[in-house]
Amino acid sequence: MSDTLTLAKQLISRHSLTPVDDGCLDIIGARLAPLHFNLEKMRHGEVDNLWARRGDASPVICFAGHTDVVPTGPIDKWDSDPFAPTVRDGVLYGRGAADMKGSIASFITATERFVAEYPKHRGSIAMLLTSDEEGVAVDGTVRVVEALHARSEKIDYCIVGEPTCVSKLGDTIKNGRRGSLSGKLTVKGVQGHIAYPHLVKNPIHLAAPAIAELAATTWDTGNEYFPPTSWQISNIHGGTGATNVVPGTVEILFNFRHSTASTTESLKSKLHGILDKHGLEYDLEWEMSGKPYLTARGDMVDAVAGAIRQVTGIETELSTSGGTSDGRFIADICPQVIELGPLNATIHKINECVAVADLDALSEIYYLILVKLLNK
């Protein structure tokens, strides 16, 4: 077994169901300490976080990720125990193999090799790891970023090990993510007997024209890196359950997945304008779970793309698709954030897996990124 595979199996064997770390960070810390990393554990609530740094100079390149995993689902549906990592036909099976204990193992072995070959490298290497990414994500990476910001500690480059690839290792990297802005809209009417329409105001009927306009609105046209902003309803609830009662309110849950072509303020303003135009009486609660961020083409993208090309021969594709990641927090203190990890085809599924060869290739890619950015 390669060293990367051995470490990946160690991590997968830990029952680190979010937000539990179950000793993963101790395993990682034991590998980093001999490399002269300063290990700083930051526990918030039930969440274990680790900020590890080797060196005190700039530039700082950080590997970021999470040790927690999602629930396994029915264990009897798995071909092998999800916490007993198993290799079959060159493929490693286990919960977290692709998302993202395999990436973390590759982080570590790439760093060990780089430090052994370039012990006096310029700049600093850091790792930001949490056990609260798959859950509510309120005591994890965001807390570490707040602590670093409070002491004016910045990161120049960050590689998040989320699984990004579609069909072959290296075919896709994420150079940004859309923002996520949610709202709970309550449209008010007047409840009453359905047989006396002149005595009621049906909030569902009142809201319908506004919903139609919101659904048809072009919020922006996107840009070179992002698709147009999307507004979608996720839930509608109104009524008492009876067939003869007009409800007094209707509740609508919706979400914007928005590009950098729009701001939170512009989206809120435009939506309120449409509701007001339709004369609705309403309450609206907003929740922003992530701002959009973007890393344009530059030295970070060039280094990552070049490393992928050297190892795989693939010209990688830049993408901002998909949901949110902890990169949205790190972007507050780091101008260049890239996500690069293994194939995402089996993440969160039964029989989650990663090709063993891809783990070693990923370690090689991470190593070359370090060479390109810290050994100029």
Q: What are the catalytic residues? A: 68, 133
H/E stretch holding 116: helix 102-117
Of 122, 116, 91, residue with least CA distance to 356: 91
Tokens of 27: 């395993």
> Measured between alpha carbons, how far is 140 from 120 in angstroms, rounded to an integer?
31
Of 66, 300, 344, residue with least CA distance to 176: 300
> Measured between alpha carbons, how far is 183 from 287 in angstroms, rounded to an integer?
6
> Measured between alpha carbons, how far is 82 from 95 in angstroms, rounded to an integer?
5
> Measured between alpha carbons, how far is 176 from 293 in angstroms, rounded to an integer?
5
On the 0-12 / 13-18 / 19+ scale of CB atoms within 10 A, 124 is buried
